[in-house]
Amino acid sequence: MTTLYNPLISGFHPDPSVVRVGDEWYLATSTFEYLPGIPLHRSSDFETWELIGHVATRHGQLAVEDVPTAGGAWAPTIRHRDGVFHLVITDAMGRGMLHFTATDAAGPWSDGDLILKQDGSGPLDGIDPDIAWGDDGTVYITYSGLVLGRADKMEHLGILQAKVDLDRHVALEEPRSLWSGTGGQFPEAPHLYAHGGRWYLMIAEGGTERGHGISIARGDGPEGPFETAPQNPLVSARSTIRPVQNTGHGDLVEGPGGDWLCVLLGVRPRSMTRAFSALGRETFVTPVRWADDGWPKIDPVLLNPRAGTRVEIDFDAPLDGEWIAVRALPSDVASVGGGALVLRGTGVTLDDPRPVFVGRRQEHLTSSITATVDVSAGVGGLAVRYDERFHVEVEAGDGALTARAVVAGLVQEWTRPLTASVLDLHIDSRKPDASGTVLARTSDVFHLAATVDGQRIELAQVDGRFLSSETAESFTGRVIGAYAVSGTVSVSRWTAEGDDA
């Protein structure tokens, strides 16, 4: 019996797509403006997942260096055919719709080919591409017709499809309109499946917030016409009290023992009205059953978190794949040597779209991060980042120790003198106090502190709702990391522990 953990992949891992190859499963998720881009997780049992690599590990594969916040790597689809992994994705407001290939999902992956319009004038206009092969080998790219980067930005043309020459990466026809759902906003995330002699078109609709859901239709071929399922939406948490909300954007796969599963995104909101999702969109999983009438039925998503974790890093080896940077590779902004992670400031702060920052996703609702830093030659510290307008940090150097909260242009600081140059910086995310007559009205509370000469100094407490997906209106999630503003900042030890109690 397979234990389905939820979240399946914790922390900022939205828009999952999964493929089975033999007795292994490979799962890809979105990364937006972060690099390395598009992580690949592998499992042999659907319980334990290992990060084995990324698609975008080199400059030029994604043009995220210049994309606006929330642009970049949107919604991959991963498939496997004739010994080759295929991944299609939109580099939103960057290169456009791309096709990557690899013989090993761990990489290296190709540089990425643009999927061009029939006249070759540019990439297909849209997001969330799916790739499927007809019975005769015809390649179909099915996608959401959200137009980006033009005067008619945000125009939505529904779910579209085109046959594509995959050798030349050129559409063989003008895109055709397919079934676009039951009327919910933003029909997106299409996936085509051949099952039981029929073709199924599954999409997300309702927007990726509380109205999110999955709907499906079927036809006799990959081009349709498609008949709407009578029980849509197949899954949605809208207007429910379920602990996992925003469930949608899913992908179907045959799991262990022949049982079918749906991986999908969701959030874990907290507060009195469950209004704030601290970690952003994560990957979840739920069982699927094929009914006698040929329609799939998807179970509601149940919360089943894993046990807590503890990670200790002494930087005596190269950074593992969990470390990411903003619009840059970690190696562009940091180096490891002599038992330390070293960052060299360029004068920009975390308010800049390209900060000197390298971090790891916050994976647990309750967490504690400690970094031992040497600021004798620079200014920097430890931070939680949603984007350049929403971040919280503890900063040291140049004779000062400062806790800071930046929320959409509003800045609050707590500063005291500092004589030490080596100290521990702490950012703890804790449950809010709901005792007495006060109900918890936030997701969590940040406790910002430092340990100097063996004494812990509590600097500030910051309401965690300000770094939630609903407040920041972000597609990403919390990333906790080290940063440098000026000079050289060295981190000699990193400890992260947490749970989901």
- Catalytic residue annotation: 15, 188
H or E element at residue 446 = strand 445-452
Question: Any idea which residue has 């916040």 for tokens?
Answer: 69
Please report, to the nearest 10 degrees, the dihedral formed by the alpha carbons of residues 62, 335, 39, 276 taken in order: -100
d(CA 64, CA 81): 28
Q: Are strands 127-133 and 113-114 parallel, antiparallel or unpaired?
A: unpaired
Structure tokens given for 472: 């920041």
Question: Any idea which residue has 């000197």 for tokens?
Answer: 356
Structure tokens given for 106: 């761990």
Looking at 137-196, which runs of residues are DSSP E strands? Answer: 139-146, 156-165, 170-171, 176-177, 188-195
CA 329 to chain centre: 16
d(CA 32, CA 75): 9
Three-state SS at 256: helix
Among 433, 424, 415, 413, which residue's Cα sits nearest to residue 493?
A: 424
Number of neighbours of residue 208 by Cβ within 10 angstroms:
20
Q: What angle do CA 376, 380, 385 make, to 5 degrees?
A: 160
CA 450 to chain centre: 30
